[in-house]
Each structure stands twice: as C-alpha cells, then as structure tokens.
Amino acid sequence: MSEKQTRALSADVAIPYVGFGTYLIPNDEAAAAVREAIGIGYRHIDTAEFYQNEAGVGQGIRQALADTGLSRGDIFVTTKLWPGNAAWGQTPKTTETTVESLLRSLELLQLDYVDLYLIHAPFEREQRLAQWRGLIELQRQGKARAIGVSNFNIAHLEELAAAGLPRPQANQIELHPWSQKPQLTLYLDEHGIVPIAYSSLAPLSTWRTAEGHTSAKTDAMRAEAEQADAPFKRMAAKYGVSEAQLLLRWGVQQGYPVLPKSTRAERMRQNADLFSFAIDEQDMAELATMDRGDGLAWSLGDPTKAA
C-alpha cells in the first residue's frame, strides 16, 4: 500500500505533505519558480502577504495550470495575514482590515479563494482575537477553505479557546531536529491542530547563506554541520539521499507537511522525492535527541516566545 501523501485539515480539506515554499523568492522570480514547481509535481504552494510575491506566485499558478491541464482544485494554496507589529511602527490589523487583507491577497493571486489562510505571527496581543474573528468570517464567506495560525504557542492557542472561538486547523511553525517543540506539538496533536513545518533545512550549513538572508544561526552551528562526520551527512549517505531530503523526510515521518524552497529545478525535484525511502527507528531515535530548543529562522528571536 502506498504511503499517504496528504494530511486532513478537516473532513473535506487535505494538505499535501510536500509543499513549495516561496519565502525570499522575489516577486519578479516567483512566477517562473512556481510554474516550475507545479510542473515537477508540487501541489501545495505557500506564500504570504509579508513575502511581497503573491502577484508572481499567482501568475506562476495560472501559467502552470495552462501548461499541465490541471484545475484550480488540484493546487493547494496557502497565504498568510501579516498582523502588523506596533513595535516595528506598523498598524495592527483589526477584524475589518484582516478581511480586507485577504481580499487584497486574492486580487494579487488572481484567485477566488485560498485553501489555507494563516495569521503569520502572534505579534499583536490586543488584536489577536479580532484577527482570528476575521479569519472565521473569511472561512464563512468561502474565501478560505481552512484557517489557522503560524508561530503560535500554547498560551496563544489557549487564548483563542478561552474566548469560545473555534480552534485553528493548522499551526505553521519552525520544526526540524534542532527545534522539535515537543510540548507544543503534543498540544497540537491533542487538540486536532495540524503542525506544518517551515525552515526544515535550518540545520544545514548552506541554509540562508545568501547576502541579506538573515537568521539566528551562528557561525559555530554552520561549522558543526560542515564536519565530515556530522550526523545528517552520515544518515543521508546511508539512505543514498541528500541531507535536505533527510531533514524533510524526518518532518514527513513526524506527520508534518513540509515546505522546501529552491529556485533550482534539480533541487526542487530532489526535495519533492520524500516517499522513496524511510528513516529507520534507530536513526529517528538519534534525531530525537538533537533538540536545541528555540528556532533559528527569525533573527530577532523566535516569535513563538511573543507575549
């Protein structure tokens, strides 16, 4: 029996385990990258208001549908509300401006709906409930088939529940062997909230090395990952795969949909090839011992720590 390649968010919405991430892909390059990804076989495209590439992503989706003969329903599309951050001089979104934000994103994407709409981060304590009510309204209107959050911790999620509001269907968070968040993922599992993993490749020495690509990763961490006897290198060689595939496969075996990003066709194909091998129990047990706590993706600190 073949391995299941989607995970249910609800009775009628399922998210592919392998998605194509578009963070740090400029708008003028996004169309070509997304078109290539869908042609290769990706069926989930992840973008966000904050990425400023929704127009290019939408163009790439339309081009790929024309190329392949696929229909809109064959492609799972995620975008995210930027909640605003008063500490950064940004106006926090209200319920009304949350609704307006998705309508604007849909215009840029040239889509009638998205499959999943997320609050990107829990930055605005005073407006979190208002923003979540906006997502609930957008789902009611059919503009988002499923709704969720990103970078929310247990306290943030409990805040929504305490207000008597429906729980999110997903929480997109940084997850990899160096940041496993066991208490949070257990909570998500207990409450039927699907964890979606971003920055799965953060432990690799080559992750976010381009100029202007910031993170909380140290030079010492990069040097450690470059060692010839580094565990990811050893395990990848054992299975005849890349280190990236190994880390992505770890996520899939944990039940986390993953979002690899590349603009190189060869790497896109490789990153999508996650069902031709499995990590054995011994190696999964070793990977479970590597947790270092906080994530690395945000240079200003892990947003799950927000008050």
**Exactly one of 17, 42, 51, 256 is catalytic; which is it?**
51
Q: Residue 35 CB: number of other CB atoms within 10 A?
A: 22
Please answer whether residues 297 and 215 qualify as being in contact, where contact means their C-beta atoms are separated by less than 8 angstroms.
yes
Please answer whether residues 102 and 81 qualify as being in contact, where contact means their C-beta atoms are separated by less than 8 angstroms.
yes
Q: Which residues contact 8 (CB under 8 A, 6 or more apart)?
A: 14, 194
Q: Which residues contact 112 (CB under 8 A, 6 or more apart)?
A: 72, 106, 143
Bridge partners of 44? 76
- Tell me how far apart the alpha carbons of residues 208 and 276 are, in angstroms, rounded to a whole number: 27
Is-catalytic flag, 23?
no
| 294 backbone dihedrals φ, ψ, rounded to 5° | -60, 155
Token look-up 């060689």 returns 237
| 144 backbone dihedrals φ, ψ, rounded to 5° | -140, 120
Task: Using the CB atoms, write b or e for 192-214: b if 16+ within 10 Å.
Answer: ebbbbbbbbbbbbbebbeeeeee
Residues designated as active site: 51
